[in-house]
């Protein structure tokens, strides 16, 4: 079979058929094109500023490995003056991260970048293995997601970094779009399809850490090809606790579409962005200053990375849904200025919650039950369920805080988590909420480990 010549240099034999354009390129022309396009994504959106410190969320997998390599290459080539560091999270799943972290270490050495590894064990006193032993395999992804998000934030703070980049690619984003559509969760489209999220938090806190995905327009296929032809050192692994059922189906759909019509992937991403703009109150394409920093949606958005399906609540069953609802209520109460602290109940059933004695005496009781029923504060409650507009109901139910955040001036009071002392806009940070539940149940196992809150 005759070989095609490269359509850029017209000399070498073509080795890559680009899914986005159908162009046939040789390996050197392809890697250059890939880098140039990533640079265009970055510069056209002014993603970085000169001298900015950037933490690269590094899992040792293909995406973050390619991201680190490309950013380092571009930083040198274009003299961006960025200070790049690698940030890895060790969830503490025996046999899962070991090889990946070894790959990260080798990459740090090759690229000459500093590396910070943070483990759940040291951060929270609970490795994921221990969490799973405690709560079982159902719903453990929620713990992992909340812990990882905070771990990245804490790691960023430790490193003095305000911007974390992740390796999410176009296939990841397309999968997330499809999943959000299949769930009827249009409110999350904006976050999942945004280049930058998490801006607009309070100054100085870990909540103000910005997140972006510079490879969100890059095909997974091209990322793999880039890694292959640049001989990058990475290790692929999937979480042994993650059944991946739902995301797996979305992924199969996307991959099948790609085979028939490769442009489909970017088209789904674009459609996701366009639809996000149409969702009332969702703020459209992200990066707008009004976006509040929302840990739970961020966790959901992030679930495409790090080898974790982490479909919060999807496979979690009712109990995790309640835990998450409790977290949401806590944040919403915070916005309302009611300053209620909600203890994570061992059984948070039927909206029964106990205000903490003494410390906070706000009037939360009126606001909280309303949100339990999926009604929004903006409506001043008491609107019967029949009267609500369907699309808003869903959206508000899923991301009521975002809506509230758009309408109300953010009233974040930065303080410290009273448990772990970490900067937090709430009295007790999310990780500590989950930890409380874990630690309460712990005596049953007969194992006692002190200082779980870190």
Partner 1 sequence: MIDSIPIAVEFTRIQSKTHRDSPVASGGLELLFSNQRKHQVALPASNPEGTPSTVGYLVKWLCENLIKDPRKEMFVLDDSVRPGILVLINDADWELEGEEKYELQANDEIVFVSTLHGG
Question: Does residue 24 interact with partner 1 by CB under 8 A?
Answer: yes
Question: Does residue 308 interact with partner 1 by CB under 8 A?
Answer: yes
Select from 27, 70, 174, 342 the one that contacts partner 1 (CB under 8 A).
Answer: 27
Question: Does residue 240 interact with partner 1 by CB under 8 A?
Answer: yes
In the complex, minimum distance from the CB of residue 168 to partner 1, in angstroms, rounded to a whole number: 8
If the CB atoms of residues 64 and 208 are measured against partner 1, the closer one turns out to be 64
Diameter of the chain by CA atoms? 81
If the CB atoms of residues 59 and 340 are measured against partner 1, the closer one turns out to be 59
In the complex, minimum distance from the CB of residue 139 to partner 1, in angstroms, rounded to a whole number: 16
Count of residues touching partner 1 (by CB under 8 A): 53
Question: Does residue 61 interact with partner 1 by CB under 8 A?
Answer: yes
If the CB atoms of residues 142 and 169 are measured against partner 1, the closer one turns out to be 169
In the complex, minimum distance from the CB of residue 390 to partner 1, in angstroms, rounded to a whole number: 33
Question: Does residue 62 interact with partner 1 by CB under 8 A?
Answer: yes
Select from 21, 45, 76, 94 the one that contacts partner 1 (CB under 8 A).
Answer: 94
In the complex, minimum distance from the CB of residue 8 to partner 1, in angstroms, rounded to a whole number: 14
Stretch 178-237 residues interacting with partner 1 (CB under 8 A): 220-221, 223-225, 227-228, 234-237
If the CB atoms of residues 206 and 235 are measured against partner 1, the closer one turns out to be 235
Select from 14, 130, 368, 429 the one that contacts partner 1 (CB under 8 A).
Answer: 14
Question: Does residue 314 interact with partner 1 by CB under 8 A?
Answer: no
Stretch 134-173 residues interacting with partner 1 (CB under 8 A): 167-169, 172
Question: Does residue 238 interact with partner 1 by CB under 8 A?
Answer: yes
Question: Does residue 393 interact with partner 1 by CB under 8 A?
Answer: no
How far apart CA 124 and CA 25 sit, in angstroms, is: 48
Question: Does residue 258 interact with partner 1 by CB under 8 A?
Answer: yes
If the CB atoms of residues 94 and 383 are measured against partner 1, the closer one turns out to be 94
Which phi and psi (to 5°) does residue 90 adopt? -105, 110
If the CB atoms of residues 156 and 239 are measured against partner 1, the closer one turns out to be 239
In the complex, minimum distance from the CB of residue 371 to partner 1, in angstroms, rounded to a whole number: 34
In the complex, minimum distance from the CB of residue 199 to partner 1, in angstroms, rounded to a whole number: 23
In the complex, minimum distance from the CB of residue 312 to partner 1, in angstroms, rounded to a whole number: 17
Structure tokens that stand for 109 in this block: 């050495």
In the complex, minimum distance from the CB of residue 364 to partner 1, in angstroms, rounded to a whole number: 41
HEC string of the chain equals: CCCCECCCCCCCECCEECCCCCCEECHHHHHHHHHHHHHHHHHHCCCCCCCCEEEEECCCCHHHHHHHHHHHHHHHHCCCCCEEEEEEEECCCCCCCHHHHHHHHHHHHHHCCCEEEEEHHHHHCCCHHHHHHHHCCCCHHHHHHHHHHHHHHHHHHHHCCCEEECCCCHHHHHHHHHHHHHHCCHHHHHHHHCCEECCCCCCCCHHHCEEECCCCCCCHHHHHHHHHHCCCCCCCCCCCCCCCHHHHHHHHHHHHHHHHCCCHHHHHHHHHHHHHHHCCCCCCCCCCCCCCCCHHHHHHHHCCCCCCCCCCCCCCHHHHHHHHHHHHHHHHHHHHCCCCCECCCCCCCCCCCCECCCCCCCCHHHHHHHHHCCCCHHHCCCCCHHHCCHHHHHHHHHHHHHHHHHHCCCCCCCEECCCCCCEECCCCCHHHHHHHHHHHHHHHHCCCCCCCCC
What residues make contact with partner 1 under the rule CB under 8 A? 1, 3-4, 13-17, 24, 27, 59, 61-65, 94-96, 99, 167-169, 172, 220-221, 223-225, 227-228, 234-240, 242-244, 247, 251-252, 255-256, 258-259, 305-309
């Amino acid at each position: 079979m005759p070989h095609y010549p490269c359509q850029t240099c017209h000399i070498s034999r073509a080795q890559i058929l680009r899914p986005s354009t159908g162009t046939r390129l040789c390996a050197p022309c392809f890697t250059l094109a890939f880098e140039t396009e990533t640079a265009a994504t970055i510069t056209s959106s002014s993603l970085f500023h000169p001298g900015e410190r950037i933490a690269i969320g590094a899992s040792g997998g293909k995406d973050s490995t390619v991201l680190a390599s490309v950013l380092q290459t571009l930083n040198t080539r274009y003299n961006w003056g960025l200070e790049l560091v690698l940030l890895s999270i060790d969830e503490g799943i025996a046999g899962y991260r070991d090889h990946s972290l070894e790959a990260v270490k080798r990459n740090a050495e090759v690229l000459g970048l500093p590396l910070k590894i943070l483990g759940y064990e040291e951060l929270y006193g609970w490795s994921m293995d221990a969490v799973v032993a405690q709560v079982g395999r159902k719903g453990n992804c929620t713990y992992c997601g909340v812990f990882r998000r905070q771990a990245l934030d804490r790691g960023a703070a430790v490193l003095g970094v305000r911007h974390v980049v992740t390796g999410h690619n176009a296939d990841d984003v397309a999968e997330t779009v499809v999943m959000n559509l299949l769930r009827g969760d249009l409110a999350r489209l904006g976050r999942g399809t945004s280049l930058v999220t998490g801006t607009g938090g309070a100054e100085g806190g870990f909540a103000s850490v910005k997140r972006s995905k510079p490879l969100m327009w890059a095909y997974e296929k091209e990322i793999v090809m880039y890694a292959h032809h640049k001989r990058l050192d990475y290790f692929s692994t999937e979480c042994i606790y993650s059944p991946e059922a739902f995301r797996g189906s979305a992924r199969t759909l996307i991959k099948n579409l790609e085979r028939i019509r490769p442009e489909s992937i970017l088209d789904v991403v674009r459609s996701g962005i366009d639809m996000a703009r149409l969702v009332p109150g969702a703020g459209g394409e992200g990066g707008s200053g009004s976006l509040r920093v929302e840990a739970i949606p961020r966790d959901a958005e992030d679930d495409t990375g790090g080898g974790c399906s982490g479909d919060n609540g999807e496979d979690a069953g009712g109990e995790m849904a309640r835990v998450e609802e409790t977290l949401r209520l806590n944040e919403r109460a915070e916005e309302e200025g009611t300053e209620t602290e909600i203890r994570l109940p061992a059984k948070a059933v039927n909206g029964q919650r106990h205000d903490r004695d003494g410390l906070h005496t706000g009037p939360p009781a009126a606001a909280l039950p309303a949100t339990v029923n999926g009604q929004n504060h903006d409506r001043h409650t008491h609107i019967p369920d029949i009267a609500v507009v369907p699309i808003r109901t869903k959206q508000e139910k899923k991301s009521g805080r975002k809506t509230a955040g758009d309408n109300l001036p953010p009233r974040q009071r930065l303080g410290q988590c009273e448990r772990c002392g970490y900067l937090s806009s709430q009295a007790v940070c999310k990780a500590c909420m989950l930890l409380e539940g874990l630690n309460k149940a712990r005596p049953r196992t007969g194992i006692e480990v002190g200082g779980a809150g870190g």
